[in-house]
Amino acid sequence: MQIAIDGPAGSGKSTIAKIVAQKMGFTYIDTGAMYRGVTLYFLEHHVEPGDLPEIKARLGRIRLDFKEGRMHLGERDISKDIRSPEINRRVSDYARIPEIRLALQKQQREIARKKSVVMDGRDIGTYVLPQAEVKVFLSASDEERARRRQRDLLERGYEASFEEILDNLKQRDAIDSSRAHSPLKKAPEAHGIDTTRMSIAEVVAEIISIIGGVEPCSD
Ligand code: CDP
């Protein structure tokens, strides 16, 4: 079974998707962490988004791996580094490059072919898994999303002002929604959930009830 959870930055996707996956006994795939990992790699190798030949030459060498819920680049655990303000600022500029998207989307489809998944991102219901049995699109007000993101960042040891975070979320939404290749968009058939005034448990319960109404496929 495939469950696609999409939405803009700070809409609660990863928190919710992780819990839904746990409850269902499915594998959770955080596709944002993959775009963040690729961004970290290119920044550390001083490859700018405009340098397409270098990006293409290096793309096949980047080894991203989820091991026990942690994101690895080769042997290195990059789970904390990919959440830095620097990555937040730069990730959408790399994620809009079609070559990068196609490479990561291929890996995402391969994982979902072998097992039942809850996959979160921007383009899962529309592009990566258009045949997903359940599609959810999460949203929340800009202010609520910025508040949540500030809390997340503090928990991870990063400090940033509310205005800085709000600006970054809006800027990423703008780039993510307007790019030509697989932009951030609600699939027409996705269930929209505005999480602004909902608790995590309420959102999870709503998704579980949507899943409950779906005939499981035979995998
Ligand atoms: O957690 P947050 O919503 O802030 O972001 P994320 O899910 O970690 O994704 C980080 C960035 O990766 C997004 O702003 C997009 O630019 C890109 N992304 C994407 O283009 N497609 C996806 N399926 C997932 C992420």
Please name each of the domains of the chain with its CATH number. Answer: 2-212 (3.40.50.300)
Q: What's the mean pLDDT when you consider all of the chain? A: 95
Is the pLDDT score of 66 beyond 60? yes
Q: Which atom of ligand 1 is nearest to the CA of 172?
A: 14
Is the pLDDT score of 69 beyond 90? no
Identity of the residue numbered 168: N
Task: Assess contact for 42 and 55: CB atoms under 8 A.
Answer: yes
Is the minimum distance from the CB of 172 to ligand 1 under 6 angstroms? Answer: yes
Gyration radius from the chain CA atoms? 17
Task: Assess contact for 4 and 119: CB atoms under 8 A.
Answer: yes
Task: Assess contact for 107 and 71: CB atoms under 8 A.
Answer: no
Task: Assess contact for 62 and 38: CB atoms under 8 A.
Answer: yes
Is the pLDDT score of 218 beyond 60? no
The per-residue pLDDT for range 140-194, each reduced to its tens digit, is 999 999 999 999 889 988 888 999 999 999 999 999 999 999 999 999 999 999 9
Cα three-residue angle 35-16-140, rounded to 5 degrees: 85
Q: Residues 96-106: what's their mean pLDDT?
A: 98
Structure tokens at 177: 């929604």
Closest CA to 59 of 76, 38, 43, 75: 38
Q: Which one has a higher pLDDT value, 62 or 158?
A: 62
Q: Which one has a higher pLDDT value, 217 or 29?
A: 29
The per-residue pLDDT for range 7-57, each reduced to its tens digit, is 999 899 999 999 999 999 999 999 999 999 999 999 999 999 999 999 999
- Our mutation pick for probing the ligand 1 site, out of 88, 117, 176, counting the most ligand atoms within 8 A of Cβ, is 176
Q: For strands 76-77 and 70-73, give the pairing.
A: antiparallel
Helix, strand, coil percentages in the chain from 3-state DSSP, rounded to 5: 50, 15, 30
Please give the share of the chain, as a percent, with pLDDT higher than 90: 91
The secondary element (H helix, E strand) that includes residue 183 is none
Distance in angstroms between the alpha carbons of the first and the last residue of the chain = 7
The secondary element (H helix, E strand) that includes residue 179 is none
What's residue 215's pLDDT?
Answer: 64
Is the minimum distance from the CB of 125 to ligand 1 under 6 angstroms? Answer: no
